[in-house]
Structure 1
Amino acid sequence: MKKILIVTSGQPSLNPRLVKEADALVSNGFDVIVLYQYWNEWGTISDIELLKNKAWKAICVGGTKRNNLIQYFVSRSLHRFGQLLVKYLGARKWIAELAIKRNVLGLIQKAKSIKADLYIGHNLGALPAVVAASKKHHSKYAFDAEDFHRQEQTDDTESTAYQLAKIIEDKYLAQTSYLTAASPLIAEAYQKLYPDLHPIVVNNVFSSKFIQAEKIIEETTLKLFWFSQTVGKKRGIEDVIQAIGLLKNIDVSLTILGNIDDHTRNYFMTFANQASISAEQLQFIEPINPDEIFPFAKKFDIGLALETGYCVNNNIALSNKLFTYLTAGLAIIASETDAQKAFITTNSNVGFSYPIGDVNSLADLILRFDHDRDLLLQTKKNALSLASEKLNWELESTIFLNTVKKVLED
């Protein structure tokens, strides 16, 4: 039985893509181990429920705020030391691994202790670990680019984030056995940087087991839904609040799911009040288990993908939101980032797109769905059909699995 080690500098519950890959590999006869590290308390609580029924082994490295506290604080101190070195010396090759994420050295050490046939990295903090382990054991390594990492946070090429990501990518990616990308445009971006790499697109779709039964629209309220791990400012939420505020004579509500602090909650409540939206129209929901997102989302009519395109990655990525909405059977309203505009153009019967920041156009689309409930119902049916027939993990995983098998056979 071939052994595969998957490494992430985050947590399984915060990386559904990693979990899908691990499940697919185990189901196809591979021995799978996942190395991960603490990111936040919500993820830790969710991991307990997620991991207890998995056929793959998960190992937490680098301590947490509750367990192996000394190890956790040592790794944090080393990371901060690396960041200080970058601050005063600039982003240098010999500092990058220490500064890019917490506990990269711990991931390297643990990964090297596990012999595997293939090492797969998820996110840049994991990339040095899979490279070091593959070299020690004369195996192969691969990388999954869920984002275009060097411009994931900012397009400022002088920024620390850009410089560190560029160093790590240039140092390790060109030699990877394969690179998978989470959108066609991310694949194109990496292809331009590394012409010999030939990235393979594996969309962030979900298992057909999560496809929800068609919901009969009975309520008069038009229900809008947006979610993310963290709720924050300038992520498009302000636009939809303003759009709702323009619609004076329709019954519409907005539900936002994700981690939100009191300051941000108060900011949005004040913003909504200024837009003449009542407290009853705006609801905030705490994070839920990843598998519960689909039946929860089913309660709504329209899924909102409000990306602002603030950096290259945000402009070219296809988020989990789009595919979650399809699987839950929601009509989609998406901002026109390059990736989302291309998606809606290709799949024009599952929703509409609007120019980024154009609140009036967004309001018109909401109003159109409210006034034409037959259109809303048909669009929701189309979303379910697309998820059932084309955009599901059962189909998409064959691309991933065939890639892995080919690499191991070569």
Structure 2
Amino acid sequence: MSADICLVTPGHPSKNPRLVKEADALVEAGYEVTVVAGDYHPWGHNADEQYASREWSIERVPYGPMASSLRRGILSGRKRVAEALLRAIPTESELLKRRAIHWAVPELVQKTRSIYANLYIAHNLPALPAAVAAAQDRGAKVGFDAEDFHRGQYKNHERESLDAQLTMWVEEEYIPRCDYVTAAAPGIGEAYTEILDISQPATVLNVFPESQRMGHTSPEELNAEHPGRGVSLYWYSQTIGPDRGLETVVRAIGIAQRKADALPPVTLSLRGSWATGYEEELRTVAHEAELDDEQVRHLDRAAPDQLIERADQHDVGLALEQPNELLARDLCITNKILAYLLAGLPVIATDTDGQRYVHEQVPEAVALSPAGDPDAMADRILRWTRSEERSEAADAAEQAARERLNWSVEKRTFLSEVRSVLGQ
């Protein structure tokens, strides 16, 4: 099989909107595109069906629940054996390390090598061995999209763990061999430049296409998004769980209610799946903060292309990155904050390096608050409950998203990197 460009990811495209945007942009620019993707979760497998009509194709690599029982046992056992050997015997074996970093790296390598392309682009670290190996086979170019600062996902006391050591090995072994690197935030690119002695990666923000603002969700479902009263503070993720800053927001709502007599009802609207036991834990915090039961509201997960217009039905977006000694969380700019701005929402964001960058771009629409400080968060909530200020902030968010913080603008940087590396 041949393609001009092959994108590689160990996960589902439906769980990686950044890869999907790149694939669409490449097709629009006239390239033939194939995506090699892991296939491991029933929900993700079904969600990937939405791309069946796209002009790029998907080659799946099944593992986990999507593989047969025999195959699942073989891949899992292979990974455990490789991990055990690496813990027991000091070795620089690339073969063992590839098998230890992920269940399906050899299969990703095999599938990617079967695609004849001029450029292979890896998304996420386990895709790097496959993209680099295929590029070497074909005499092709290879790129890497650094959506996170991966070694920064470990706390200081975790740096000696096997997982951390393997992460650093993949970064050091493969990223310098790439012909170009893009980064989802300036801080991520700067960190990799310093550690790996590579050229400064181009920043490609994780923004969304304006086409996602409407037309993907039925009117009935959109009408059910807002609680129907007062101000809805909106947050979404695949998992609603601890260490995400939600307890701080709940306590802040309680403080705001005690500070202002005429405060309109404030609801925390959460989209995602509850982590085991966490709903009860968060509602306990809500009761202690003197919130009514309906002030913490659960919304089911939604398709990626519906997130912008669903967010648009709420009043304020919450971008609650928690550094917690994790440099990666401090540096990153998640899709949440950029999705809220495209939806025209004012944002309350924790004061991290990455989110400070967005605040500097749109100071009228992004209010920063120190992580873990409910009193400061309460002040930001009170600010956005005032309808006139909220309306002005919403206008600023929409203008910024329309003029620069959208994919039609940001994809130019990505396509420029591709054309440059291909000598076009």
**Structure 1 residue 236 and structure 2 residue 245: aligned?**
yes
Identity of matched residues, %? 35
Q: 2: CA distance between counterparts of 1:73 and 1:33?
A: 29
Contact 1:207–1:394 (Cα < 8 Å) also in 2: yes
Contact 2:11–2:39 (Cα < 8 Å) also in 1: yes
* Aligned equivalent of 1:191, options 187, 190, 193: 193
Amino acid at match of 1:360: D
Q: 2: CA distance between counterparts of 1:97 and 1:342?
A: 35
Name the SS for the 2:323 alignment partner: coil
Taking structure 1 as the reference length, what is the TM-score of the superposition? 0.94
Following superposition, the deviation at residue 278 of structure 1 comes to: 1.6
- Report 1:245-324 matches (<5 A): 245-248=254-257, 249=261, 250=263, 251-310=265-324, 311-324=326-339
Q: 2: CA distance between counterparts of 1:61 and 1:164?
A: 22
Are residues 24 and 89 of structure 1, via their aligned partners in 2, closer, same or farther at CA, if it must alter by over 3 Å? same
Equivalent in the alignment of 2:219: none
Q: 1: CA distance between counterparts of 2:196 and 2:18?
A: 23
Name the SS for the 1:37 alignment partner: strand
**Structure 1 residue 209 and structure 2 residue 223: aligned?**
no
Q: 2: CA distance between counterparts of 1:90 and 1:277?
A: 55
* Aligned equivalent of 1:364, options 379, 402, 419: 379
**Structure 1 residue 119 and structure 2 residue 128: aligned?**
no
Equivalent in the alignment of 1:57: 57
Name the SS for the 1:247 alignment partner: helix
**Structure 1 residue 170 and structure 2 residue 162: aligned?**
no
Following superposition, the deviation at residue 218 of structure 1 comes to: 12
* Aligned equivalent of 2:202, options 194, 200, 203: 200
Amino acid at match of 2:45: T
Following superposition, the deviation at residue 299 of structure 1 comes to: 1.2
Equivalent in the alignment of 1:3: 4
Equivalent in the alignment of 2:161: 159
Name the SS for the 1:280 alignment partner: helix
Name the SS for the 1:330 alignment partner: coil
Q: 2: CA distance between counterparts of 1:230 and 1:85?
A: 33
**Structure 1 residue 348 and structure 2 residue 349: aligned?**
no
Following superposition, the deviation at residue 79 of structure 1 comes to: 2.0
Mean Cα deviation higher: 64-73 or 13-22? 64-73
Name the SS for the 1:230 alignment partner: strand
The root-mean-square deviation of aligned C-alpha atoms, in Å, is 2.1
Mean Cα deviation higher: 26-35 or 342-351? 342-351
**What CA deviation, in whole Å up to 9, does each residue of 1:13-61 have, x standing for no partner?**
100000000011111111111111134332222112x222211100111
Q: 2: CA distance between counterparts of 1:185 and 1:89?
A: 36
Following superposition, the deviation at residue 259 of structure 1 comes to: 2.2
Name the SS for the 1:65 alignment partner: helix
Taking structure 2 as the reference length, what is the TM-score of the superposition? 0.91
Are residues 90 and 119 of structure 1, via their aligned partners in 2, closer, same or farther at CA, if it must alter by over 3 Å? same
Q: 2: CA distance between counterparts of 1:218 and 1:10?
A: 34
Equivalent in the alignment of 2:218: none
Contact 1:93–1:167 (Cα < 8 Å) also in 2: no
Q: 2: CA distance between counterparts of 1:164 and 1:189?
A: 18
Mean Cα deviation higher: 266-275 or 291-300? 266-275
Q: 2: CA distance between counterparts of 1:44 and 1:273?
A: 38
Following superposition, the deviation at residue 115 of structure 1 comes to: 1.2
Are residues 82 and 308 of structure 1, via their aligned partners in 2, closer, same or farther at CA, if it must alter by over 3 Å? same
Following superposition, the deviation at residue 291 of structure 1 comes to: 0.6
Q: 2: CA distance between counterparts of 1:93 and 1:338?
A: 37
Equivalent in the alignment of 1:108: 109
Amino acid at match of 1:399: T
Contact 1:121–1:130 (Cα < 8 Å) also in 2: yes
Following superposition, the deviation at residue 93 of structure 1 comes to: 4.7
Following superposition, the deviation at residue 70 of structure 1 comes to: 3.1
Q: 2: CA distance between counterparts of 1:117 and 1:71?
A: 31
* Aligned equivalent of 2:411, options 379, 382, 397: 397
Q: 2: CA distance between counterparts of 1:63 and 1:157?
A: 28
Contact 2:132–2:177 (Cα < 8 Å) also in 1: no
Following superposition, the deviation at residue 206 of structure 1 comes to: 0.5
**What CA deviation, in whole Å up to 9, does each residue of 1:311-344 have, x standing for no partner?**
0100000001011101111100000111112321
The unaligned stretches of length 5 or more in structure 2 are 216-221
**What CA deviation, in whole Å up to 9, does each residue of 1:53-86 have, x standing for no partner?**
2111001113452454433332222222223334
Mean Cα deviation higher: 346-355 or 59-68? 59-68
Mean Cα deviation higher: 3-12 or 59-68? 59-68
Following superposition, the deviation at residue 91 of structure 1 comes to: 7.9
Contact 1:62–1:72 (Cα < 8 Å) also in 2: no
The unaligned stretches of length 5 or more in structure 1 are none
Q: 1: CA distance between counterparts of 2:115 and 2:3?
A: 13
Contact 1:224–1:253 (Cα < 8 Å) also in 2: yes
